[in-house]
Structure 1
Amino acid sequence: MIKVKGHLFVKLSICALSLSSCASLKKGTTNKKPVTTPATADKGNRITFIDGIATSRHSKNTTTNYNPKDVSISKNITRGSANLENAQSWQFKYAQMLDVAVEDVLNQKLYSFIDDWYGTPYRLGGKTRSGIDCSGFVNTLMNTVFQLGLSGNSTDLFTQVKRLSARDLHEGDLVFFRIHKKRISHVGIYLENDKFVHASTSSGVMISDLKEPYWKKYFAGGGRL
């Protein structure tokens, strides 16, 4: 009987030690800091962290109130091609004659005047559609298109302008030539791309090129009023 009680006491002691050991282990475990879990994405494509802070997955690349359709011209259409669609027949005509882009031919009043007078025969001292000389044509065009009270022959006009080299010429500037001896004897009006309009003795009112050997040989310079 005493022997049985001794065995029972030993078993109770072992159980007590086991329980105290488990309690100590559990207490130690609860003192550890919680492990941070990776961010998770919900169905709305937003990332939520354990501290309750949420951010969009594409927040760095998003522009506030950006509207990709809010552009004046489609990315597949350049401004030049947009203007080209609205160009008129006279623009195509003179763009080809001047060898420039259609959208660069803009002065309708100027080119309408040239169109009306194109091919008018040359006549010394003439000022009408039946015949006109170089200075008469220049005076008529400048007064009609640019509202200038211009008069005089080519030599007179040369004294009224600010002299320019060929590289500084712009639309509406005058171009002068010394065809007879050393004096100024011919005048025209610069357009674009080395082209100028004038009343020639051979073909009347026409467009020529300053790079042509004949005009290059006699070119005396340009001028601006």
Structure 2
Amino acid sequence: MLKILICITTIACLATSCSVFKPATATKTASQSPTEKDNPNGVQFITNISVKPDSHEDNTRSSITPAGKSAAMAPGYAETDAKAIETYPALKFKYAILENCSVEALDNPKLLSFMDYWYGTPYHYGGTTRDGIDCSAFAFLLLSSVYGVATLPRTSKEQYEFSRRIRRDELQEGDLVFFHTLGKRRTVTHVGVYLRNNRFVHASVSGVMISEMTDGYYDKHFVGAGRVIDPAQTGVTNPVTSNTGGL
């Protein structure tokens, strides 16, 4: 009798065990079915995660000089300069709009090439490359690349002291314009290069761009103008005779 009871108990336990494990097996199969149906290759992805290859975006609106190369007047700029001169007519139309002048007035392909190469480069204090550049470095590079001036100091304050003072109504292409942008003192903290029609090109906090001197901010913060090159070098046909004085 005891053997019979043991057998009955064993059979009951086995039956109970099967009923416990079946739902789990069924649930697992059911949960896998959608995956197998939607993804027959068996590849599973984490929910809400997507990968975008090569998602790096160049915000400078132009190509960046490869790391390790100096963008200042070198190989990259030289190549761009040659290409820009080939497309000079197109550049003239572009910058005639930006400078609010006639196409015929733009007779300096080297200047247009330089501006187009750097235009849109982000501002970076102390920077000298296409990854980022500050105002005085941009002015230095422009004057050295376009006009051959290799003696201009590095900072805007030193450039102001180095250049010869001229009146605002004497400004010509290639002259420097200085501003104070920090605090109430009229200490020079910003520099740009004058173009024409009250326009100047500079490395602003928004990047390298062309701005108007008559703009409220720049007009209010204007400190003075300076000249470090002979007016004949600017391509101006009738240069204004400037007053005497040392550099």
Q: What amino acid does structure 2 have at the position aligned with 1:154?
A: S
Q: What amino acid does structure 2 have at the position aligned with 1:101?
A: S
Q: Which residue of 2 aligns with 1:106?
A: 107
Q: Which residue of 2 aligns with 1:15?
A: none
- Residue identity over aligned pairs, in percent, reads 46
SS in 2 for 1:140: helix
Q: Which residue of 1 aligns with 2:30?
A: none
Q: Which residue of 1 aligns with 2:165?
A: 163
Deviation sequence 1:133-158 (CA, Å, 0-9, x none): 00011111111111111232000000
Q: Which residue of 2 aligns with 1:127?
A: 128
Residues 1:94 and 2:95 aligned together: yes
Q: Give the 5 Å matches for 1:3-152.
A: 88-149=89-150, 150-152=152-154
Q: What amino acid does structure 1 have at the position aligned with 2:224?
A: G
Task: Kindly indicate which of the two structures has a greater share of residues assigned to strand.
Answer: 1
Q: Which residue of 2 aligns with 1:198?
A: 202
Q: Which residue of 1 aligns with 2:223?
A: 220
Moved more, 176-185 or 125-134: 176-185
Report the Cα distance in structure 1 between the residues aligned to 2:181 and 2:121, rounded to whole angstroms: 21
Deviation of 1:165 after TM superposition, in Å, equals 1.8
Deviation sequence 1:34-67 (CA, Å, 0-9, x none): xxxxxxxxxxxxxxxxxxxxxxxxxxxxxxxxxx
Matched-pair contact (CA < 8 Å) for 2:135–2:190: yes
Q: TM-score, normalization: structure 2?
A: 0.55
Q: What amino acid does structure 1 have at the position aligned with 2:193?
A: I
Q: Which residue of 2 aligns with 1:189?
A: 193
Kindly report structure 1 stretches of 4+ aligned residues shifted beyond 4 Å. Answer: none
Deviation of 1:182 after TM superposition, in Å, equals 2.2
Deviation of 1:178 after TM superposition, in Å, equals 1.3
Q: TM-score, normalization: structure 1?
A: 0.60
RMSD: 1.0
Report the Cα distance in structure 2 between the residues aligned to 1:194 and 1:182, rounded to whole angstroms: 21
Q: Which residue of 2 aligns with 1:61?
A: none
Q: What amino acid does structure 1 have at the position aligned with 2:210?
A: I
Higher radius of gyration, 1 or 2: 1
SS in 2 for 1:91: helix
Q: What amino acid does structure 2 have at the position aligned with 1:118?
A: Y
Q: Which residue of 1 aligns with 2:179?
A: 177
SS in 1 for 2:196: coil
Q: Which residue of 2 aligns with 1:29?
A: none
Q: What amino acid does structure 1 have at the position aligned with 2:146?
A: V
Deviation sequence 1:17-44 (CA, Å, 0-9, x none): xxxxxxxxxxxxxxxxxxxxxxxxxxxx
Deviation of 1:179 after TM superposition, in Å, equals 1.6
Unaligned runs of at least 5 residues, structure 1: 1-86
Deviation of 1:109 after TM superposition, in Å, equals 0.1
Q: What amino acid does structure 2 have at the position aligned with 1:98?
A: E
Deviation of 1:164 after TM superposition, in Å, equals 1.4
